[in-house]
Amino acid sequence: MGGRRCTLAALLALAAAGCAVGPDFHPPAPPPGLRDDSYTPTPMPSATVSAPGPGGASQHLALGQDIPAQWWTVFHSPELDRLVRTALEHSPTVAAAEAALRQAQENYDAERGGRVVPAVNAQLGAAREHLADQGKTVNGVFSLYNASVNVSYAPDAFGATRRVLEGAQAAIDYQRYQLEAAQLALTANVVTAAIREASLRAQLRATTEVLAAQRQQLGVIDKQLQAGAVARAVLLSQRSQVAQTAATVPPLEKALAQSRHALSALAGQLPSTPDLPQFELASLTLPEQLPVSLPSALARQRPDVRASEALLHQASAQVGVATANLYPQITLNASYGAAGASPHEVLQANNLVWNLAAGLTQPLFNGGALTAKRRAAEAAYDAAAAQYRATVLAAFQNVADSLRALESDASALQAQADAEALAAETLALARRQYELGAISYLALLDAQRSFQQSHVALAQAQAARYADTAALFQALGGGWWNRAPASAAAP
């Protein structure tokens, strides 16, 4: 008897102390080999090369400088800023993420309300019963009325409740960072779609300029044919060149229209919306200062990494829940009320009834189910840890790719600008020489094709630098942590 009393006292003391079995979660350590001086094997140059024309400015990398919350404003486009804000306000994707966050918060409140405080329920009952005459009771029918208040509570002796609430809080964190990730993806998609539209307009304009020049040259050749200066094959070749260039216009127009439709959808509007702004490369300013977060801060900034960490935290809490289920479960119950043969007897003081009860349940044999569930929870934690590492590696890869793209595309634009200038000069010289009869038509045709290709490629290279800049801001996390505390999760 004394041993049982000691055991019961120990369990009650343990319930009061409130220990929690299972692992205590700690944020994962930085990846091995992390350096704060560079994201790439060799340090990046502090500035890119420059080139003439739109998108040709030299960009300087400021390692350790913080990212603005509204990072898209670095392009200094009021139209782009308004469109991004409209998208954030009306996007169904963001609305769905916000609803998922509210759902996680309500689920946490439900778990807390059902576990942390005692459950109190009022009960009213009425019964009509018949007892058979077995020589011991009076045979007859009688009524029984009762009214009571019942209280039940399960002390959190081994931390199961705390682990459940810990997992529910981790679910809130996950949905919060999912919301940040959805907003970052949306803003990046809007900016990228606007840049693509500007690029397509530039390519379409370049193609139209080339087509106009080719048609002008076609008119010259037609006059030469009428004068007998050239063969009809020359005229047919020029017509073929004009037709080939004209054939590239409809695909560009289709891509431009689809880009506009994508912008409308991203902004939460129908494609038929008439007031959608138009974007040109000349209306966008390429930022010359690019903030680059330190590598040691990247994992705390990227919302996808933080969301993956929250899933790891949730998996850790589930291990604690599965471990706590192996230990005794304590329940406390109490009720207070009255009972009588008629409703008015329920209100009489001498008909009061009450009870107090305590229960202790210790799993003894369940075919190994509880132990298997704990091992399954541990395996789920290992899977979440592996997924977290994969997310971190992908984040660093994204930043490294973006930085190298900035460097490479700046050099590509510089080379393409030189190539376009030389092609334009070569074409002008070839036209004069052809008019004087110094070169063949094939030489002129080759110069036309070279200029057409380089002129369109220049517009593509210019747009690539704007897109690279947007990709870098997205890879670094977008600066959400610099928003007001009421609208951003604390980093």
Could you tell me the end-to-end alpha-carbon distance of the chain, in angstroms, rounded to an integer? 55
359-395: per-residue pLDDT in tens?
878 887 777 888 899 999 999 999 999 999 999 999 9
Q: Is the pLDDT assigned to residue 276 strictly greater than 80?
A: yes
Given a contact cutoff of 8 angstroms between Cβ atoms, the answer to whether 427 and 450 are in contact is yes
141 occurs within a structural domain: no
Lowest-confidence range among 63-72, 96-105, 122-131? 122-131
Q: Is the pLDDT assigned to residue 43 strictly greater than 90?
A: no
**pLDDT score of 139:** 57
Average pLDDT over residues 74-78: 94
**pLDDT score of 442:** 77
Query: How would residue 3 be classed by pLDDT, with cut points 50, 70 and 90?
Result: very low
Q: How far apart are CA 175 and CA 98, in angstroms?
A: 8
CATH number at 302 reads: 1.20.1600.10
**HEC letters along the chain:** CHHHHHHHHHHHHHHHHCCCCCCCCCCCCCCCCCCCCCCCCCCCCCECCCCCCCCCCCCEEEECCCCCCCHHHHHCCHHHHHHHHHHHHHCHHHHHHHHHHHHHHHHHHHHHHHHCCCEEEEEEEEEEEEECCCCCCCCEEEEEEEEEEEEEECCCCCCHHHHHHHHHHHHHHHHHHHHHHHHHHHHHHHHHHHHHHHHHHHHHHHHHHHHHHHHHHHHHHHHHHHCCCCCHHHHHHHHHHHHHHHHCHHHHHHHHHHHHHHHHHHCCCCCCCCCCCCCCHHHCCCCCEEEECCHHHHHHHCHHHHHHHHHHHHHHHHHHHHHHCCCCEEEEEEEEEEEECCHHHHHCHHHEEEEEEEEEECCCCCCCHHHHHHHHHHHHHHHHHHHHHHHHHHHHHHHHHHHHHHHHHHHHHHHHHHHHHHHHHHHHHHHHHHHCCCCCHHHHHHHHHHHHHHHHHHHHHHHHHHHHHHHHHHHCCCCHHHCCHHHCCCC
Q: Is the pLDDT assigned to residue 10 strictly greater than 90?
A: no
pLDDT higher for 179 or 219? 179
109-152: per-residue pLDDT in tens?
998 887 777 888 888 888 877 766 655 545 567 788 788 888 88
Given a contact cutoff of 8 angstroms between Cβ atoms, the answer to whether 325 and 362 are in contact is no
384-439: per-residue pLDDT in tens?
999 999 999 999 999 999 999 999 999 999 999 999 999 999 989 988 888 788 88
Query: How would residue 489 be classed by pLDDT, with cut points 50, 70 and 90?
Result: very low
Query: How would residue 297 be classed by pLDDT, with cut points 50, 70 and 90?
Result: very high
479 occurs within a structural domain: yes
Nearest 5°: the CA angle 359, 362, 365 is 140
202-235: per-residue pLDDT in tens?
889 888 888 888 888 888 888 878 888 778 888 8
264 occurs within a structural domain: yes
Q: How far apart are CA 197 and CA 465, in angstroms?
A: 14
Q: Is the pLDDT assigned to residue 15 strictly greater than 60?
A: no
Lowest-confidence range among 95-104, 182-191, 230-239? 230-239
91 occurs within a structural domain: yes
Nearest to 257 by CA among 281, 276, 242: 276
Q: Is the pLDDT assigned to residue 491 strictly greater than 70?
A: no
* Residue 323 CA neighbour count, 13 Å, CB half: 18
Q: Is the pLDDT assigned to residue 107 strictly greater than 50?
A: yes
Lowest-confidence range among 25-39, 283-297, 298-312? 25-39
**pLDDT score of 453:** 86
Q: Is the pLDDT assigned to residue 254 strictly greater than 80?
A: yes
- Whole-prediction pTM: 0.85
Average pLDDT over residues 70-80: 94
130 occurs within a structural domain: no
Q: Is the pLDDT assigned to residue 8 strictly greater than 70?
A: no
167 occurs within a structural domain: yes
386 occurs within a structural domain: yes
**pLDDT score of 415:** 94
Q: Is the pLDDT assigned to residue 308 strictly greater than 80?
A: yes
**pLDDT score of 131:** 67
Query: How would residue 4 be classed by pLDDT, with cut points 50, 70 and 90?
Result: very low
Q: What is the dihedral of CA 254, 472, 411, 289, to 10 degrees?
A: 120
**pLDDT score of 435:** 79
Range of the structural domain that residue 47 is part of = 14-117+157-326+368-487
Q: Which residue has the tokens 């102390």?
A: 17
**pLDDT score of 134:** 55
pLDDT higher for 490 or 64? 64
User: For the chain, what is the domain count?
Assistant: 1
Average pLDDT over residues 232-240: 86
Share of the chain above pLDDT 70, in %: 92
The per-residue pLDDT of the chain, averaged, comes to 86
57 occurs within a structural domain: yes
